[in-house]
Amino acid sequence: MNNPVDLLHAMLSIPSPSGREDELARFLEKTMNDLGMAARRDEAGNVIGDIGSGKGPVVMFLGHLDTVDRPLPVRRDRDRLTGRGAADAKGPLAAMISAAAARPSFPGTIRVAGAVEEERLSRGGEHLARTLPPPDALLIGEPSGWSRVVLGYKGKIDIEYRVTRPATHSTNPEAKATEVAVAFWHDLLEALGPERDHGAFGHPAATLRGVHGDATEARLDIDCRIPPGFDAEALAERLRLLANGGEVTVIRHIPAARSPRSDPVVRAVTAAIRRCGGTPRPTLKTGTSDMNTVAPHWNVPVAAYGPGDGSLDHADTEHIEIAEYLKGIDVLTTTLDELAAAL
């Protein structure tokens, strides 16, 4: 499938919510082989394709196959493609495959990986980081907009709080489980500090994702987003002191990740954007990505890039402008040229 727009259209037409990526992985394995890449699947279900001379550095493009489980009809018109994953993140992955296929004589290896379950547990990215040798340069496929390069992502702490209280009449002045849970939520916000802000990369923030319970049992599911250097263990200890008889469990902790502007991959993408007629805009994201997942394992030059509007992630209006998508392919192809010279 040599037409990049046809490739993305086909990918959008294959539903791939987290945990159900097999059909898309099989399609991409065949497609990448047809494009001249040596493609395979690993034990986790990730699809990996290599291309290039093999004699030289390894540049890895890492995207993800899965989407959130909210179906969205696929539609194609002259200017845009609509469908689940158009921005997050089939658009960036399709652009990476197209760019790699356009550079078969790359002096080294271009490795394109589509990981499973990034939206849920980052299981695919974790498996890649534990089973593959570190590449010489890494680019994460996430929607940045064609003229932006992402230097870093906030980390996260997933917290569960459970509390029980004896059954009693609603008029009893003793606090009920739901009331204790609500008080804990407010205590957590105070523990994060007065400058908490979802929109600021340098400050923590929290989202109450779920509230379950009644007067005798209550549970909170909390998502904390944290900046680089945040002391997650200290926060957990403080929350346990504030638990008021409840139980605090850290379900998952993913540290923040950030590259400097001098990073070779950041510089390569920046130069490529300029060569393609854009004004580069370094960006910091307040979500997380597989950049966070692999950072503890691979100490390598890294940035994130991909065509698409990140504000459309998971939205019912998710789409990608075709001109933006094609421009992103140009930037990625030029980035490979920059890295070939730099590495």
Give the active site residues: 66, 118
Non-local CB neighbours of 302 within 8 Å, separated by 6+ positions:
137, 138, 139, 140, 257, 259, 263, 265, 291, 294, 295
Which residues face 151 on adjacent strands? Answer: none
Say which DSSP state 295 is in.
Answer: T
For residue 68 the two structure tokens come to 């959130």
How far is CA 289 from each of CA 104, 188, 240, 278, rounded to the nearest angstrom?
Answer: 28, 24, 28, 25
Express the helix, strand and coil content of the chain in percent, nearest 5 each. Answer: 30, 25, 40
Bridging pattern class, strands 109-115 and 58-64 = parallel
User: Among 26, 18, 19, 20, which residue's Cα sits nearest to residue 10?
Assistant: 26
Q: Where are the alpha helices (DSSP H) in the chain?
A: 4-12, 22-34, 90-101, 123-131, 177-192, 232-241, 264-275, 290-294, 322-342
What is the spatial distance between Cα 43 and Cα 150, in angstroms, rounded to a whole number?
A: 30
Separation between Cα atoms, residue 258 and residue 61, nearest integer Å: 17
Q: How far apart are CA 26 and CA 217, in angstroms?
A: 45
Cα separation, 272 vs 340, in Å, equals 12
Contacts of 298 (CB under 8 A, 6+ apart): 129, 134, 135, 138
Q: Is 223 helix (H, G, I), strand (E, B) or coil?
A: strand
Closest CA to 155 of 231, 87, 68, 67: 231
How many angstroms separate the CA atoms of 192 and 242, rounded?
13
